[in-house]
Amino acid sequence: MESKKISKVVEITSEAIKKKFQNAEPEKAIFELTWNGLDAGANLIEINIERNDLDGLELITIFDNGSGIDFSNDNNGFFKFDVSNKKNMIDAHGKDGIGRFSFHRLCHDATWFTKTLSGNFKLPLNESSMQNLNIEPVNMEKLPKDFKNHTTGTLVELKNFSGKKTFPNNEVLRDKLSVEFGWLIAFKPDIKIRLNDIAINIPNKEEIKSLIEIDGFKFDYSIFRWFEKPTSEQSYLYFINEKNQLCDKELSKFNKKPPFYASVIIKSINNNIFDNEFGELEGNEGKIIEIKEIVNTHLKEVYENFLRVSADNLINDFDEKGYFNYFHDHDKDYENWRINATKQIVKEICLKDPFFLKNLKEKPTKILIRLIDRLLISNENDALFEVLNEVLELDENSLNSFSKLLQRTKLENIVKTIEVISQRLEVIRKLKILMREKYKNILETPDLQSIIESNTWLFGDQYAVLGQEED
């Protein structure tokens, strides 16, 4: 069938499109175009980057061997913005209908070449007029050489780079691609993504495999605990049939438990439990519920073990930094008991809230650890809480003044100074009572002399020596 030139206008302006991506990093364009290929059924993505002698970008191409873009179909999602034909596809990424326009964060010009069963097309776009789609038919011989061994596919060329933001080098970009797509490669190993002919690998992970058998039906599952948070996917349970097709997915119960990131792939073995009408085949609902319970129980064990290991690592880190070296006693057994008791409380805090201590700076962490120790052994906790409460009641100016004092001297010295001042004020108060209310009964030698000799500061420090000499 002969292809004809097609002109379409997306009902939105370029400026409105750009607002959707105003906070996106430039490599986001590479991710979105890669996802478009994967959503089109591709199992091969070839990303090639050409740089000049100054390491500046000259050309980026993203090729996929998916089904291509059928521009002859008026219902094609490419003609819409913020609307996608993929919304009901459980394994699709690009469900918002905007990803293809993200190229403007990286360059001024993008050109799509696509090969479909309905024909071959070319679509050039400039970032200043992304709403105008002028699609041209292309003869087979004029398609880029990447299509040579593929029946269908799409290639996007990116040119005239803006340089508004720094684009990562290939090594860094490869790591970012691994975090973005590694989870997908883990459960679809037939997918190959390459950057300049080097394969993108699955990121660092802990993998735990197990087998379930229910009423003679077998399922195996793998728990992938990612060391770094995947940028494009939350923590899901994926249900895969024996043809390696995704039948369903649901959010894990541990989806919002940072820094714990886990994906679980559950695969049926020689049975149709996970086939198209997921969970609706007669008698399957109970089996699927039981599978979820078994997997979630195992996932809980993995999570709790992760917390214990993380807490131990954090305490070891604090130990190496000397956070527990605040107490020394001639009785080493007592010293070790106090330190170990404090470490146990710190560990319990970490198990309840993994981020609490990890995100604190050094000084507040040390203070908190010493406070925990003090509360464990002190018989004067009421007095301690009274002091803390008074500090918390200070307004901002008073708190800043107190902080500046602590930068110049120890709190112990401040307390001693306050005690001296308090004692002197008490002496003055008592003298006032004697001289104003009981002056008729006061005698110099038996009454006043002892008070004055004990408080010569009333007349100045020079009188202290004189008083002692006359004595």
- pLDDT tens for 273-330 read 776 555 554 557 778 888 899 999 999 999 999 999 999 999 999 999 999 887 777 7
Query: Residue 102 is encoded by which pair of tokens?
Result: 């993200």
Instruction: Tell me: pLDDT of 334 over 50.
Output: yes
Q: Smallest Cα–Cα separation from 193: which of 208, 174, 211, 212?
A: 174
The pLDDT assigned to 84 comes to 46
Q: CA-CA-CA-CA torsion for 55, 56, 58, 63, nearest 10 degrees?
A: 70
Amino acid identity at 417 = T
Smallest CA-to-CA distance from 27 within 128, 164, 130 is with: 164
- The confidence score (pLDDT) of residue 438 equals 75
- Surface-to-core class of residue 2, CB atoms within 10 Å of its CB (0-12 exposed, 13-18 middle, 19+ buried): exposed
Identify residue 328 by its one-letter amino acid code: H
Could you read off the pLDDT of 7-24 as tens digits, one per residue? 766 656 667 666 666 677
**Strand arrangement, sheet containing 205-214:** 205-214, 217-226, 261-269, 236-240, 246-251
| Residue 469 binned pLDDT confidence (cut-offs 50, 70, 90) | very low
CA proximity to 100, closest of 116, 87, 115, 83: 83
d(CA 299, CA 303) in angstroms, rounded, equals: 6
134 against 444, higher pLDDT: 134
pLDDT digits (tens, 9 = 90+) for 179-212: 999 888 887 889 999 999 999 999 999 999 999 9
pLDDT at 356 over 60: yes
CA distances from 406 to 361, 400, 401, 402, 414 (A): 18, 10, 9, 6, 8
263-296 burial by CB neighbour count: b if 16+ within 10 A, else e? bbbbbbeeeebbbeebeeeeebeebbeebbebbb
Provide mean pLDDT across the span 352-358.
79
Q: Cα separation of 224 and 238, whole Å?
A: 11
Residue 232 burial (CB count, 10 A): 13
Q: Residue 333 is which amino acid?
A: D
Q: Is the pLDDT of residue 385 over 70?
A: no
- Kindly report the three-state secondary structure assignment for every residue of 390-401: HHHCCCHHHHHH
Quick one: pLDDT band at residue 30, thresholds 50, 70, 90? very high
Q: Which of 304-313, 336-345, 390-399 has the lowest mean pLDDT?
A: 390-399
* Residue 171 amino acid letter: E
Matching residue, tokens 């050094």: 362
